[in-house]
Structure 1
Amino acid sequence: MGKDGTDLNSYPFLMAPGQIAALSLRNRILMAPMGDALANPDGTVSKRQLDYYEARARGGAALIIVGSVAVTYPGGAFSADQTALHTDEHIAGITELALRVQRHGARLALQLTHGGPQSLYAIETGNPLLMPAPPTYKGPDRISRTLSPQEQFAMSAPFQQPTSRVDIHIATEEELLAAIEAFAAAAERATRAGVDGVEIHGGHGYLLDSFRSPSTNTREDEWGGTRDKRDRLLLETIRSVRSRVGAHYPMWCRFNSVEHHREPHETIEDALYLATNLIEAGVDALHVSAYSDPSIATGITDAHTPHIPGALLAAAAAVRAHIKEAVPVITVGNLDDELAENALATGAADFVAMGRRLLADPELPNKLRDGVPDHVRPCIYQYRCIGNIFLNTHVACIANPLTAREGAAPPEFSRPHTTQEPEHILIIGAGPAGLDAAWRLAERGHFVTIQDAATQLGGRLSLAALADEHLSKMLNYLIGQVRRSNVELRLGQPAAAPDLEGFDRVVLATGADWSRPDIPGAENGNVLTLNDLTPWASGEMRLPDGPVAILGGGKAGLTLARLARSGGHEVTVIEETHVFAIELGLPGRFRWIADLEASGVTLLSEHRATSINQDSVTVMSGDSKIVEIESATTICTVPVTPRNDLLELLFESGAMGEVIGDAHSLERLEGAFRDAEALSSRL
């Protein structure tokens, strides 16, 4: 049995060893290929990358797949800090990466990519943008434009440099043959670097896929027109790579099972046809993904980074059935432990690739192996990871502040170093910052006490967890970590001066005050704040019949809007700025907006509430137009201010003091977890 009573054989299929050609793997969990933007500015492997990938190898993943390794650089690359294998100068760093991964029993693969139409670094450096045919640009849809000024600036950076030039170049046969050679040469360099295998990226709108798609390839020559001709570039690349690396070197392909929001588009029938031909061309496995029109805001979450659990399983199963198990099939896309285990058990796939979950907890495979799945820090699907890539910055994770900072922290955040100078530490506040800090500090060897006026753990996260299943999992994880640690709990006790006596250090993690706006009618009986909502969110009471207005369009406001709409209310969310849920990574923000609007919620941006009445809210637009919004109940999620009313008490105690989470700065969960980790690492 595991440490928490879980059967160690709960995941026999996930933990079973596997094989891709000559490549022996210790289990069936692969780290999915993801762009990380962590390389040096010349495309060579950086120290941060070494630490980042080694953490996932140490954590038990069988195969680490480095995403989007450019075969041509800077042309064909997305950014300067994209990993490249364009010349022999890139080999040394890849060799070191292979050694760092392999010394933990994992294996390393590189996903070889030519960006084609998506090569933003080609634009930034004035290089040609290789495409199959003249493009038809629709521009981003309405939801895609819900960006802050800072986000707009970051996304436009590749177009704003002195060297920037958009030079669309319709690929000639000579250039296509050169691209094929670039893939083969990069694969050969991978073998010299000690890499265990390569994945050819034939999906997601990059060069090889742009030729496959009937939406982007409108040629009528030998490289387009029919399905066979559209597939030619990918298949010729596979054959060339196979010829270069030999018959036994593991090589496989990632490709789309479907394209969303496009007409005409790649279909599952196209994918099945391609799968047969890929095997004949020499691949050792098939990695089944999906793509979407990039101008559609929900495209990413409809396709390769889905919001629906197991969204790509049916496609993987169809491919596996079609090829009659000729080669292993890799599936991907929002897979929890049970979905992943079942996919293998039912024969839908042979391997599962996990991305976001391994960012949130690199130790996930080891914890499943050891029978402690409750110890896995959950992904909360707020899309900071891939969202950062679109802002031309490196990968990060809201749930795990150590992502891309592994070298600045203890070797594994689940097994930190023990302090040589233990302290008695009082944490006032049992919200996410306090809980996360408490277990981390206790595991470091400190004597930790949590005190909170509330009678239960969780703070405001307890309310959010009632309406958001991902946050519910995070709350359960944090509470579990605290209860598994040697932390003393003082609940139902407001902090007073005597409580601080005898502690070396006091940490204020008191969160934020979510109050009422200073406008007429805010004190009316039909106006609720977060303090009033737990009975409703838990189902113990109903809101009065009639429309609901929510003041504030942050993540909290949108979560409450979804809950109210599911209860049958007409809902309007009123936000003063242009952007809803600014806390979320872009794909997550866009998904929430689209889903709420599709459910019938009205999202009113750039409007400010000026008064609250018994049956309406009066709002003013940016151009001073007055609008009345019908409302039987008004819920306030603004204003929000740091709650630091205990600072004076802290100063008077004479203890060393710390302030973390929203009590320090209003950065929600991201700030809470970052502050908790930083404090524990420092102490």
Structure 2
Amino acid sequence: MSSTENVKSVHLPQAIAVTAQSSSKNRLFKSAMSEQMGDANYQPTAELAHLYQVWAQGGTGLLVTGNVMIDRTALGEPKNVVLDDKSDLADFKKWAKAGTQNNTQLWMQLNHPGKQTPKFLSPEPVAPSAVPLAKALQSSFNTPRAMTEQEIEATIERFAVAAERAMQAGFTGVQIHGAHGYLVSQFLSPHHNRREDKWGGSLENRMRFVREIYHAIRQRVGDSFPIGIKLNSADFQKGGFSEDDSMQVMQTLEKDGINLLEISGGNYENPSMMGAKVKSSTIAREAYFLEYAEKAKRLLSIPLVVTGGFRSSQAMEDALSSQATDMIGIARPLAVDPDLSNRLLADVHYKVALKPLSTGVKALDFMAMLNITWYEQQLHLIGRGKSPNPNMSAWLSVMRTFAGMGSAAFKKRRA
């Protein structure tokens, strides 16, 4: 059997069961990316639906949406989509129908930003405790107010309502965003969560919030609807969520019944999920969190996804063959080549290269959040029925960012 045949018949396209009633047609997993395609009423646009139709035709087995907010008073970005009891499901049904073509799984990522909401969107953000973000970020983010227990309970219910409505709209699963420093991640971190009630202190108490979210969702959607979570391997900051904490949370969530775990890491203060401070050994294997995944796989039996850094069929094959992961998470490469999964499945030697992005002026790159907005602009091109432009200059991207968002372009953006 040739190596290409091996890819096609054994590894990447092999179906993986998520629940007894649900499976992905292959092991390629499109991880969440910020799309910025919500309208003035926080509804998904026709362009967003078209983007996911293109990705569905591109061969990826499981697509996860960019983060959909569960509370329209708590946004992470100005053009977020929100799904709550006020949302019109008609637009969400169009999105789900587009993204489930070609036997594709489409899961909605559900999120609450907590304190990671910029000043121009939230003058008084909420969080587990009134702990500000790092000093370097305080010019863009206000110090949060500690949530009351009533607010915590109401937020848990909002996650459940959003999940039930996603199922009603035709999405085939949901993913809780428990990584990257957003609200669920803040509750898990002893640095950000300094509460002295049942929601803070011990790890058992700190994980109570995410466990209650899971149970509330499960009660609404039933046993056969898949629920996953994106979880940090660690926060990579002093006094934060540790690797040992992460392992214990994963094991607990598996016992609770969660169906799939996606591994990531970092937050706004230490953006490891963006490839910051990558070791040479990591570069060689491509994936950012593969070593952690190998440890986690010894403890878990549910499907595990590693996202971040994969660029070649061979590295993906190696990660799957070593059983370090069950699915390959891909994000940015799909922004420049929405047909990437079909190419990976057809050619074991296929590689994708992403060019470094910089105007040469670091302060300008930072203000424009170039490593996020450049990719968002590729998604907008696809959404409008055009081809992405991998050769778009950094300068053009920055100018479009400032022209399109005005003063908001200078605010800190989601990672």
TM-score over 0.5 (shorter chain): yes
Matched, 1:271 2:246: yes
After superposition, the Cα gap between the structure-2 partners of 1:296 and 1:329, relative to the gap in structure 1 and judged at 3 Å, is: closer
Q: Say if 2:275 and 2:308, in contact at 8 Å, map to a contact too.
A: no
Question: Of 124, 127, 130, which residue of structure 1 is paired with 2:126?
Answer: 130
* Runs (5+) with no aligned partner, structure 1: 145-154, 160-165, 415-431, 437-582, 585-665, 672-683
Aligned to 1:231: 207
The structure whose Rg is larger is 1
Aligned to 1:28: 27
Partners of 2:379 and 2:294 in 1: how far apart? 32
2:6 aligned residue (6, 9, 16): 9
Q: Kindly state the Cα deviation for residue 382 of structure 1 after the two structures are TM-superposed.
A: 3.1
Correspondence for 2:347 among 352, 367, 371:
371
2:68 maps to amino acid: V
In the TM superposition, residue 291 of structure 1 has moved relative to its aligned partner by 1.2
1:349–1:226 distance in 2 versus 1, CA, 3 Å: same
1:301 is matched with: 275
Q: Are positions 1:178 and 2:176 aligned together?
A: no
Matches within 5 A, 1:274-423: 274-292=249-267, 294-295=268-269, 300-302=274-276, 308=283, 309-323=286-300, 325=301, 327-336=302-311, 337-371=313-347, 374=350, 378-382=353-357, 391=368, 397=374, 402-409=378-385
Secondary structure at 1:291's aligned position in 2?
Answer: coil
Partner of 1:48: 47
| Cα 1:79/1:394, change in 2 over 3 Å | farther
Equivalent position of 2:115 in the other structure: 117
Deviation readout 1:361-399 (Å, 9 max, x if unpaired): 11111112333854x653225389xx999848996547x
Shift of 1:316: 1.6
1:101 matched residue in structure 2? 99
Deviations 1:449-488 (A, max 9, x none): xxxxxxxxxxxxxxxxxxxxxxxxxxxxxxxxxxxxxxxx
Cα deviations by residue, 1:271-295 (Å, 9 ceiling, x for unpaired): 1111111012220111111114x34
Q: What is the alpha-carbon distance in structure 2 between the residues aligned to residue 396 and residue 173 of structure 1?
A: 36
Aligned to 1:252: 228
Residues 1:235 and 1:303: Cα distance change in structure 2 (over 3 Å): farther
Contact 1:397/1:403 (<8 A) preserved = no
Aligned residues: 388
Q: How does 1:394-473 map to 2 (within 5 A)?
A: 397=374, 402-409=378-385
Cα distance between partner residues in 1 of 2:271 and 2:188: 22
The Cα of 1:57 is off from its aligned counterpart by 1.1
CA distance in 1, matches of 2:366, 2:257: 32
Partner of 1:85: 83
Q: Is the 8 A contact 1:42 1:80 kept in 2?
A: no
Structure 1 pair 344–78 and aligned structure 2 pair: CA distance change class (3 A): same
Q: Distance in 2 between matches of 1:107 and 1:219?
A: 38
Query: Is this contact kept in 2: 1:70–1:76, CA < 8 A?
Result: yes
8 Å Cα contact 2:76-2:116 kept in structure 1: yes
Contact 2:178-2:232 at 8 Å conserved across structures: yes
Q: Indicate conservation of the 8 Å contact 2:192/2:240, yes or no.
A: no
Instruction: Check conservation: 1:35, 1:389, Cα contact below 8 A.
Output: no
What is the CA distance between 1:413 and its match in structure 2?
7.3
Instruction: Check conservation: 1:402, 1:409, Cα contact below 8 A.
Output: no
Structure 1 residue 227, shift from structure 2 partner? 0.9
Secondary structure of the residue aligned to 2:209 is: helix
Q: State how far apart, in whole Å, the 1-side matches of 2:4 and 2:219 are.
A: 46
1:19 aligns with 2:30: no
**Matched residues in 2 for 1:64 and 1:320: separation?**
22
Tell me the alpha carbon deviations over residues 88-144 of structure 1, each in whole angstroms, 9 at most, x when there is no partner. Answer: 424222210111112222121001001111123xx4355641111121444228xx9
Shift in CA distance, 367/180, structure 1 to aligned 2, threshold 3 Å: same
Q: CA deviation at 1:28?
A: 0.5
On the 8 A contact 2:74/2:113 being kept in 1, the answer is yes
1: distance between equivalents of 2:366 and 2:43? Answer: 18
Cα distance 1:181–1:413, how it changes in 2: closer, same or farther (>3 A)? closer
* Native 8 Å contact 2:227 2:259 kept in 1: yes
The answer to whether the Cα contact below 8 Å between 1:140 and 1:297 also exists between their aligned partners in 2 is no
SS of 1:258's partner is coil
Return the alpha-carbon distance in structure 2 between the equivalents of residues 100 and 265 of structure 1. Answer: 39
Deviation at 1:209?
A: 1.0
Paired residue type of 2:184: L
**SS state of the match for residue 228, structure 2?**
strand
Equivalent position of 2:37 in the other structure? 38
With normalisation by structure 1, the TM-score equals 0.52
Letter aligned with residue 234 of structure 1: V
Relative distance call for 1:49 and 1:303 in structure 2 (3 A) is farther
2:166 alignment partner in structure 1:
190
Alignment partners' CA distance in 1, 2:388 and 2:34: 23
Are the aligned partners of 1:43 and 1:84 in contact in 2 as well (CA < 8 Å)? yes
> Kindly, what percent of the aligned residue pairs are identical?
24
Aligned residue type for 1:317 = E
- The structure that is strand-richer by fraction is 1
Distance 2:240 2:341 in 1: 36
> 1:555-566, aligned counterparts within 5 Å?
none
Residue 402 of structure 1 and its aligned partner are, at CA, apart by 4.8
2:258 counterpart SS class: coil
Larger RCO (CA within 8 A; separation ≥ 6)? 2
Contact 1:388-1:395 at 8 Å conserved across structures? no
- SS of structure 2 residue aligned to 1:84: coil
Q: Give a deviation string over 1:212-268, Cα, whole Å, max 9, x none.
A: 1011111111111111111111111111111111111100111111111x2212222
Letter of the structure 2 residue corresponding to residue 119 of structure 1: T
Distance 1:125 1:138 in 2: 19
SS at match of 1:288: strand
2:244, 2:24 → 1: CA distance?
A: 31
Q: CA RMSD in A?
A: 3.5
Tell me how far apart the structure 1 counterparts of residues 15 and 246 of structure 2 sit (CA, whole Å): 28
3-state DSSP class of the match of 1:404? helix
The change in CA–CA distance for 1:72 and 1:329 in structure 2 (over 3 A counts) is same
**Correspondences of 1:157-176 after superposition (within 5 Å):** 166=142, 168-176=144-152
**Helix, strand or coil at the partner of 1:115:** coil
| Aligned residue in 2 for 1:243 | 219
Cα distance in 1 for partners of 2:165, 2:371 equals 25
What SS does structure 2 have at the residue aligned with 1:57?
Answer: helix
Task: Output the CA distance in 2 between the equivalents of 1:230 and 1:383.
Answer: 39
What amino acid maps onto 1:32 in structure 2? Answer: S
For the residue of structure 1 that corresponds to 2:75, the secondary structure is coil
Q: How far did residue 330 of structure 1 move? A: 1.0
Check 1:249–1:182 CA distance in 2 against 1; reply closer, same or farther (3 A cut).
Answer: same
